[in-house]
Amino acid sequence: MARIPRPPLKSLIDHFDHIAKVAGVDHVGLGSDFDGVSGATPEGINSAADLPKITQALLDRGYSAEDLHKILGGNLLRVFRETEAVSRRMQAEDSAKRTGSGK
């Protein structure tokens, strides 16, 4: 069976650009799960040790330090905080309904 060639790193960065232009940088995030993707990552990205290459490529494309902070974890943490806040609110509303104080 023929192997599909690894895409260039530029293709990955092009995807970041597209998402940032369509949805905004507040909706772009980078995660890494290298389990089971042997040979399926872009050229030059072989392990988590290579992730700084993505950071540098984004800097080279003109992303700011603030943008990188968001992309490299800030957006994820913001979404987690918002999700936890919604969960707490929903639990409080449910508790109030069960005790009758939410009427």
Query: Which of these, 66, 88, 76, lies nearest to 29 by C-alpha position?
Result: 76
Q: What is the dihedral of CA 47, 48, 53, 54, to 10 degrees?
A: 110
**What is the predicted pLDDT for the residue at 4?**
81
**What is the predicted pLDDT for the residue at 102?**
54
**What is the predicted pLDDT for the residue at 27?**
95
**What is the predicted pLDDT for the residue at 23?**
96
Count of alpha carbons within 13 angstroms of residue 61, beta-carbon side? 21
Mean pLDDT by 10 residues, the chain (103 residues): 83 94 94 74 88 95 96 95 95 89 57
**What is the predicted pLDDT for the residue at 37?**
73
**pTM here?**
0.77
